[in-house]
Copies of this chain bind each other. A is one copy, B any other.
Amino acid sequence: MDRSTTIGLASGFGLIILGILTEGSILAFWSFSSLLIVVGGVLASTLVNFPMDDVFRTADAVRVAFEGRKFDLLARIEMFTMFARRARRNGLLVLDQDIQFIDDRFLKQGMELAIDGTSEDNLKHILEAEIKNLQRRHETGIRVLERMSAYSPAFGMIGTLIGLIIMLGNLDDPSAVGPGMAVALITTFYGSILANLVFTPLAGKLAEYSEKETNEKEMAKQGIISLANGENPRIMERKMLSFVTPKERAEYFRVYGDKAFTAQQEEKVYDHWLSQQKEKWESVISTIPNG
């Protein structure tokens, strides 16, 4: 759950309504035709701007902004060092069963390639292409929201122009100028709010998560390649730790410490981890509706 999105939207709209109520009536700010022009216009331009599929996929992506994503980089580093220690003792193939409960597709498929003995060049090539592809998909969603953010004030202004032209064209009664102007400005008001409280911040949130996910995938890529190369577990751990903040690094050493396990202890750790993964896996599976 990323509560900040919900809190931000709720408090933002709340504040604006509060600001209106302290000075006047909220009714003066309601105009169906203004809403039609702004929201409709933005959607129309977005449809011209993007293939239909990309627009629909963005609706999906926006959910991420509300649900949030957690990346437990430290647990992942610990998992990789465990893998590396096991692979050192028993060969890379032993990991074949370990990875069956990993629920991150990128990680699982990358590990499978490594275990299958894919050459380092090919492994790197494939993992990098996947990360690039992931970014491209993210960027399309961000671009859709950014364009909607740009179209919002534009259609706000177009609506205001419509209001002004009609009002000014029928200027029989000078006292009607004020209210006419007020109505005309409502579309500008709608456009500004949509752009600055909804579309731009949502595009920003998706961009932040995209960056965090890319960082996580880059770290996983590093781990997979180190594993495939049979690199020293400590060097691998150190390389992966350069993807986390100094604070997290200190936390990592505090929690996972410096381990020098016997083979037996290692087995125990592994059994514990495996049972955890299975539980997690089953809880994921159970959320999938039958049918």
Contacts and interface: CB of A to CB of B under 8 A. Distances in A.
Kindly report how many copies of this chain are found in the complex they form together. 5
A4 B205 contact: no
B171 A178 contact: yes
A48 B205 contact: yes
Which of A4, A122, A202, A208: most chain B Cβ within 10 A? A4
A105 B246 contact: yes
A181 B164 CA distance: 9
Interface residues of A, number: 103
Given A16-B158, A41-B197, A170 B24 contact: yes
B162 A11 contact: no
A189 B41 CA distance: 14
Contacts of A243: 129, 133
A40 B23 contact: no
A49 to B, nearest CB: 4
A257 to B, nearest CB: 17
Interface string A7-39: 111011001101110111000110001001100
Nearest to A15: B40
A40 B11 CA distance: 8
B11 A147 contact: no
A45 interface: yes
B205 A157 contact: no
A8 B185 contact: no
Interface stretch (A50-58, A79-87, A91-99, A270-278): A50-58
Contacts of A170: 24
Contacts of A242: 126, 129-130, 133
Most B-side CB within 10 Å, residue of A157, A177, A204: A204
Contact of A125 (B122, B147, B239): B239
A170 B178 CA distance: 8
A150 B204 CA distance: 12
B161 A192 contact: yes
A177 B182 CA distance: 13
A137 interface: yes
Interface in A185-233: 185-186, 188-189, 192-193, 195-198, 200-202, 204-205, 208-209, 211-212, 215
Given A5-B47, A49-B202, A158-B192, 20 more contacts: A4-B47, A4-B51, A12-B48, A16-B37, A19-B159, A20-B162, A20-B166, A48-B197, A49-B204, A51-B208, A126-B238, A129-B239, A133-B243, A137-B245, A154-B196, A161-B188, A165-B186, A168-B185, A169-B178, A171-B178
